Structure 1
Amino acid sequence: MIVVLGWIALCAISFSQASKTVEILTPGLNTIKEEEILRVLAQNKTESSENFTFVELVSNLQNHTELTKNAADQEWRIDPPEISWTNPYYENFRTEIDRETRRLLQVVPTYEPGAGSVSSECKRQSDVFQRELSKFTLWALKMYDATAKIPSGLLNGNVNQLGDFDECVGIKGSDGIRGKYCLAYLQLDIDRSRPDLVHLHRLLHSHYAFRSNMSDPGHRVPRFSTVNWAICTPAACSHRDVEISLRQTLAKHTAQTGLKITVQVDQEMCQVRRIEPLPTSTIIVGLLFAGVITMSIVAAVCDHYALNSNEILLSFSLKRNFNKLISFERAEGDIATLHGVRALNAMMLIVAHKCMALFFNPYMNRTDMAEYLGKPWTVIGRAASLYTDPFIMLSGLLTTYSFVGRLNKYNKLNVRNEYLSRLLRLVPTLAALILFCTYIMPFIGSGPQWNLVVTHHADICKKTWWRNFLFIHNYFGFENMCLTHTHHLGIDTQLFALSPLMIILLWKKPKIGAAILGAVAIASTVLRYYVTYFKRLNNYVFFGTSIRQLFDTANLSYILPTHRLTVYIMGILVGYLLRNCPKGYKLNGTVINIGWIVSSLMFIGAFIGPAKMGSIDYIYNPTHAATYNAFAPIGWCALFAWMAFLAHTGNTNDWLTRLFAWRGFLVSTRLSYAVYLTQFPVFFYNVGQTRSAEHYEFFRMLFNVSEFLWIIITSVILTLLFDTPFQNIKNYFLKKSKNTAVKSD
């Protein structure tokens, strides 16, 4: 828009000085009603008028413009819808237009798509573009206008320029030329012997909140040190052509400076407007979802009117499932405080994940953002790994509580049924999400980074989906994982598979079992410390951490069950105590107080202890990182475990336990699995749709109410259509098998 306004101003000045008097902006134009302007602009969107020049557009908006001596009395009208791929006024105003083109391109140089050794077709279309740009033909001006320009605020981090995505992909030019939008990656390197440039480089890159290279995977964690620069080019130019020509163009402007720019353009980051029909796979999956929705509605009608229906069909009843979702009725043996623990950590995890998603977007004040986030209290968003540990502990606790109850009652455990029950609980909802994110989501939006954060994930899932259903996807690397945020399911399921062995050992030989499990927990803690220290990993996102270090931390520690055993075994031991300690079991008051003090100090240490690691001036220390990774999970979970034990055995009923035992958290528990699955698709949808830089404001960006509402809405839909129905089916078959077993006995 600035370029356009500047061009109009230059044009008006030069025309006022030209020998031939042409009134570009006459008083008559000011009297034109807004409705008339909108009507003309609306017509200008059609194929026949997409190639109007600015001069032509202005002439169509006035009744009294004198273009020639014979046109003085011409009535105001819209030209007939004839396709014109060049500026029809160029021959009449060749001198003026050539002069203004020269002036404009001197002020804001153009990107040359045909520079360097590009393909012959790219070169041909580039020549057409350059020729038509010199004539101020509208489609060529749009291509020039949609390409990113050097902005203001570079020293405040406004380096990522997304251009105009929609303007670019909507271009139709002469000789079949179409617009192609490419988001190029630029790596800016400087002469490190120049301290003045070093300081400027630090400001440009927002104090290196993350350090990255162009070779780092960018679909899960943003390449923060890489500059994103939009290029609008003729569609015949491949991503290699764009890379070659951009490198050539930049070389002209950076020669003999202290700046060196490396250019990379990935094929997936070049986009044209989609005109092909939807793939068959997308249509099939869409029909599948439509079928599930239809069946749920039919089941709800049958349920509401008490029609004679199959129990499997009624399992999908929206009415029945919604009533279950909002029910405040507790199950028998429910451990009340655990619902609040789950809700708190789920909320903290959403905030931490949102913080990471925000780094994908461009900001006009990104350096201010980095300085703001370099404060100790931002530990709340940096300790994302910490908030997943309670879920692992709760899994071990609830599994043990359930298994020991069955062992005490029946003296045996049907392991096969437990495994099948687990699969029916997890797989249908996970399958629905994978199908949606792989075959539906890529076609419901667009944007500069859409292919990076949406389509790329879908492509990975098309190749590796089977790993997720075998729950082994966490062993193949964070960057190669279908829906990387589901790594927790792999860890939890693998630990669950081992749980019968550990729980039966503890049940049969309590002392020996506890000693063995304690030794395994210690070994897991030592393993976390060892690998973090010697591999220089870090589970805490500190200032200046490299993307490679984050991926290595995930692959070598965070996503491996051997490194998460400590808190799982904590859960097993607490679950065993809860099942075997009677409700009236009373502890000594001194023991209770000591327990509160110790667990609270451990909790605070886990949360606040690493705060200095979030400082903008922090220098990596492997001892800090190893200590945090080894002991923070234990400290964070200790308070929750102590509170659950005291509340369930009746040793406390203070305000904290009553808060965590609030019945409203029953609803959040039923939604927790779906919330866990849907949050990143919602975050990445919004990242992919982002088309321009915003002004960063911490609370407005982080606590995006509409985004949280969408997470809740999608979670409710996923729960009602897939999660609860298949739990109903599971319960139906388990009940049926029990009845059959009783009859046979």
Structure 2
Amino acid sequence: MDARACVVLLLAAAAAARDCIELTLPPKSLLTESILNGTIFRLTARNESIERYPQVNIMNLFNRFPKVVVPRNGTNEQCRIDSQMFLDGLDNLELWALKMFDATAKPPSGILSGNGNQYGDFDECLSVDGAVQGKYCLASLQITFDKERYRELDYLIHSGHYIRSNVTDMGHRVPRYSSLLWGVCIPSSCSSFDLEEELSHSLAGLGMRVKVHNTMCTVKNPKRPYSFGKTLSITFFLAVLLLLSLGTLLDDGKEGDTNFEKLLNAFSLKRNLKKVFDLSDTPTRVKGVDAIRGVNAFALLIAHKSMAMAHNPYVNKVHFSAVFGMPWAVVGRSAILYTDSFLYLSGFLNAHNLLQDLDKKGTIDVKGRLLARWFRLFPLFLSLMLFCTYILPDVNNGPQWNLVVEEHSRVCEKTMWKSFLFIHNYFGFEEMCLTHTHQIGMDMQLYVATLPLMLVLAKSRTLGLSLIFLVAAASTVLRYLAIYWYDISMFVYYGISVQKLLDAARFSYILPTHRATIYLIGVAMAYFMRNNKLNLALSKNQVRLLWLTCLSLAAVTIVSPYRMGLEGYQYEHTPAALFSALSPILWGVFMCLTHWGICNDYAGIGTIFIESPVFKFFNKIAYGVYLTQFPIFFYNVGVQRHAEHYNPLLLVHAPEMISIFLVSILTTVTIEMPFNKVYRIYFGKSQTKLKDK
């Protein structure tokens, strides 16, 4: 019995109503003989005669598929007793048993449109508290096809294989996209293993693999063990809340005389809100940085949202894959370029600030700079880790809550110490607390490496620039070799597997040694602009040529790998390796030319856009947006109860985007700004603002 038989079963229930299709059977005597002899029939349109069709034994399939899913042979006696009580309760039409049966997912219509993920009724299952208590489990089903014979059917059932996955893949960061999720309500005394064994036994021979992860089962009001980390987290947030309350209530508008008064002023919400909405220019502001950061942050936000959406069930999930398999979707699949933009800006601003120190003092205060950067990055980073690890898991629940919220919490509890040391990006996504924060680790490591490099550059221009060139070239070679050796890709090609995405992160994407090229381009650009090496007067035609070159470089870099994003693409080493090696260089040149043109007032009418107050405001909350977007995305994935209809406008779902910006403002004025002020109060005079995130 192959997997196609299983699919026919799932479709058969809805077939008559949807397509006027019915199962036509032979006379009773022939039917009995057919069942005994294993004769195979097919679904036929009304008024058509029976045809022998040697592929699907529908009658056997109907008999084999479990009508009621309950672990009758559970590993513990109480599970077996409760399972029998459930079956007896169904016979007697007891309400609690009917609710358990009703809460379990049933074969739907629209499976060939991608409606294969069925959550059942999560809340109804947890409400069962009769003779037994309900436990909700989300099982993962993997259907195996003969892909040569049933290629199109395989494509539809697995929603287009936008991302190829299997039931054993890590699912908390990258979704198990092509696995089917099936909600089952069982007695709370039964384990995930009991359910997995029951489903595996019932579906044996149907071409299906079943996995029920223990973490994907939920009961009402679960008992959680005492956690010192949770106590510490609550204490931390209560302390911050106390300081915010005192600072706001006692703020009389005057500057404090003592350090304690200044500390309270630092936590004044009135002052911080006023500062965050103050859009006047600062002396240290570098022209164009706000706009470049804002545009790239929005592009990256949309790319991240598309990945989070792949966790969700849709009644038309095949359409989801089709949309992201269109040529224009290359704009989102090239998301690595937008992270490269941040590396360029970080390299530029770090070098710019360090060169200022060298001009003023002749040296770099390494200790002061590292401490300032620690206060810039760590307090908000720590707050987010504590909240997502110890607070967020208790806030809500849902079918995938344990996967996308609690699993992150479990990983963070074990590996958070790596993030404290800013080395978490060396251990792969599987063992990383809050995987989207890998950029913070890379950025800190590259910043530390920039300190001695600036000292060398200040003493010897030739040696410093030679080092920059050699390290950038070595990084380019490393990227090429990593892609070629490990069969991975920095471009999210159509049909990429979850494991290849994780390998790409581990062996290249999250390593500063492989991402240093564009960072160093930013460092070199800061040096040349700071030393007036690029002061050129351009004619109108030359300005037009400048922007035409910029647009051409951007278009070529983004669009060149578009073929990899089309349906049916087969992975090739050389194109993937070349894109990985050359795209940071091309994108870096584009960033340099664009930035130089803006700084030299060659933007023309575009200056209105570049100098928009929106970008100035966004720059103040950008770090908050970067940190909080994924927790909000995953919160919404975790609480979603039912499949919805996909359309591309969900990429910019207004309530979600508003939530991200409001939470970012909140975290900026309550954590980031106060702790930056604490640094200035207790560790030195007013410091130059570090705008390197």
TM range (shorter): 0.7 to 0.9
Question: 1:4-19 alignment to 2 at 5 Å?
Answer: none
Partner of 2:498 in structure 1?
547
Match of 1:200 in 2: 153
Say whether the 8 Å CA contact 1:540–1:625 is kept in structure 2: yes
Matched, 1:147 2:95: no
Any residues of structure 2 matched to 1:463-542 within 5 Å, and which?
463-542=414-493
Deviation at 1:685, TM superposition (A): 0.1
Q: Provide the C-alpha distance between the structure 2 equivalents of 1:581 and 1:477, rounded to a whole number of angstroms.
A: 41
Greater alpha carbon shift after TM alignment, 511-520 vs 121-130: 511-520
Partner of 2:513: 562
1:598 offset after TM fit, Å? 3.4
- What whole-Å deviation, never above 9, does each CA across 1:578-628 have from its counterpart, x for those lacking one? 222189764577765554443332211111212222111222222221121
On the 8 A contact 2:255/2:265 being kept in 1, the answer is no
Which of 163, 168, 176 is matched with 1:210 structurally? 163
**Match for 1:220: what amino acid?**
R
CA shift at 1:114, angstroms?
3.1
- Give the aligned residue type for 2:153: L
Partner of 1:660: 610
* C-alpha distance in 1 between matches for 2:334 and 2:154: 28
SS in 2 for 1:310: helix
Return the alpha-carbon distance in structure 2 between the equivalents of residues 715 and 461 of structure 1. Answer: 21
CA RMSD of aligned residues (A): 2.3
Aligned to 1:698: 648
Could you tell me how far apart the structure 2 residues matched to 1:211 and 1:436 are?
32
- Is residue 372 of structure 1 aligned with residue 323 of structure 2? yes
Partners of 1:669 and 1:249 lie apart in 2 by: 56
**Counterpart for residue 123 of structure 1:** 80
Q: Which residue of 1 aligns with 2:279?
A: 328
Counterpart for residue 373 of structure 2: 422
Q: Distance in 2 between matches of 1:511 and 1:647?
A: 28
Could you give the per-residue CA deviations for residues 284-328 of structure 1, whole angstroms, max 9, x where no partner exists? Answer: 533432331232132123224548661112111111111111111
Q: Which residue of 2 aligns with 1:682?
A: 632
Q: Which runs of 5+ in 1 are unaligned?
A: 1-5, 7-104, 739-745
Tell me the residue number matched to 1:643: 594
Q: Deviations over 1:635-674 (max 9, x none)?
A: 23333322222333x3524123442233431211111111
Q: Residues 118 and 244 of structure 1 are in contact (CA less than 8 Å); yes or no, is this contact kept in structure 2?
A: no
> What is the distance in 1 between the residues matched to 2:428 and 2:185?
34
> SS at 2:210's partner residue?
strand
Q: Secondary structure at the match of 1:672?
A: helix
CA separation in 2, counterparts of 1:568 and 1:381? Answer: 22
Contact 2:161 2:495 in 1 (8 A): yes
CA offset digits 1:549-580 (Å, max 9, x no partner): 11000000000001111011101011112222
**Partner Cα distance (1:178, 1:685) in 2:** 26
Tell me which moved more, 577-586 or 365-374: 577-586
Aligned equivalent of 2:186: 233
| Matching residue of 2:574 | 623
Match of 2:619 among 669, 685, 694: 669
2:679 alignment counterpart: 730
Matched residue, 2:218: 271
Secondary structure of the 1:232 match is strand
Q: What SS does the corresponding residue of 2:242 show, helix, strand or coil?
A: helix
Paired letter, 1:301: L
SS at match of 1:572: helix
Deviates more, 1:266-275 or 1:656-665: 656-665
Give me the TM-score of the superposition, normalised by structure 2. Answer: 0.86
Any residues of structure 2 matched to 1:1-150 within 5 Å, and which?
Answer: 110-116=67-73, 118-150=75-107
Contact 1:239 / 1:265 at 8 angstroms: preserved in 2?
Answer: yes
| 288, 306, 313: which one aligns with 2:236 | 288
One-letter amino acid of the structure 2 residue matched with residue 159 of structure 1? G
- In the aligned structure 1, how far is the partner of 2:598 from the partner of 2:680? 29
Task: Give the Cα–Cα distance (whole angstroms) in 1 for the partners of residues 360 and 538 of structure 2.
Answer: 26
Amino acid at match of 1:414: D
Q: Any idea what SS the aligned residue of 2:602 has?
A: coil
User: Structure 2: any 5+ residue segments left out of the alignment?
Assistant: 1-13, 15-61, 688-693
Query: Size of the alignment, in residue pairs?
Result: 623
Identity %: 38
Residues 1:184 and 2:133 aligned together: no
Please name the residue that 1:613 is paired with: 564
Q: How far apart are residue 148 of structure 1 and its match?
A: 0.8
Which letter maps to 1:708?
M
Instruction: Please name the residue that 2:303 is paired with.
Output: 352
SS in 2 for 1:190: coil
The aligned residue for residue 716 of structure 1 is 665
**Structure 1 residue 383 displacement after superposition:** 1.8
CA shift, 1:278, in A, is 8.7
User: Kindly tell me: are residues 160 and 728 of structure 1, through their superposed partners in 2, closer, same or farther at Cα, counting changes over 3 Å?
Assistant: same
Q: Give, in whole Å, the separation in 2 of the partners of 1:737 and 1:371.
A: 54
TM-score if structure 1 supplies the norm length?
0.80
SS in 1 for 2:250: helix
Query: Is the Cα contact below 8 Å between 2:302 and 2:332 reproduced in 1?
Result: yes
Which of the pair has more CA radius of gyration?
1
Shift >6 Å, 4+ stretches: 105-108, 588-591
SS at 1:562 equivalent: helix
2:267 partner SS: coil
Counterpart pick for 2:114 among 154, 157, 176: 157
Distance 2:303 2:449 in 1: 30
Q: 1:729 to 1:681 in 2, by over 3 A?
A: same
Q: Which amino acid counterpart does residue 263 of structure 1 have in structure 2?
A: V
1:50 is aligned to: none
| Counterpart Cα distance in 2 of 1:385 and 1:143 | 46
Q: Distance in 1 between matches of 2:276 and 2:253?
A: 20
